[in-house]
Structure 1
């Protein structure tokens, strides 16, 4: 899936895990070590790279890579 690959390459810029080593059940904060600031920066990168708008309020309930991918897919559907 091209979207997932791009997503994980973007995410890798914020952590020390290579995209190919990321599992969808990994938690963004606990497993990848992203801070709140990292998450907001990553959100901005996602919006720019995928040309979508994501409500930051929805990000509060996202804890895993899989949930973040679902959020991205929802943003595509709303566009």
Structure 2
């Protein structure tokens, strides 16, 4: 059986590691990295997110006219 060591503080990426990752990532991956790091969403939650779920979850932060105009882009 494979036993993994617990993650400790030094295993977590710091600002410099995240900056390097953002420098080499394409726009979609940059968005995913920033979203996950600022919201604490896990990988599967991030992969299951779509525009409709996002806008429904954040609608209280958007003005209705701005949101409708933004959604017409998709």
Shared fold (TM-score, shorter chain, > 0.5): no
Larger proportion of helix: 2
Q: Compute the TM-score of the two structures, normalised by the length of structure 1.
A: 0.31
Larger RCO of the pair (alpha carbons < 8 Å, separation 6+): 1
Q: Compute the TM-score of the two structures, normalised by the length of structure 2.
A: 0.32
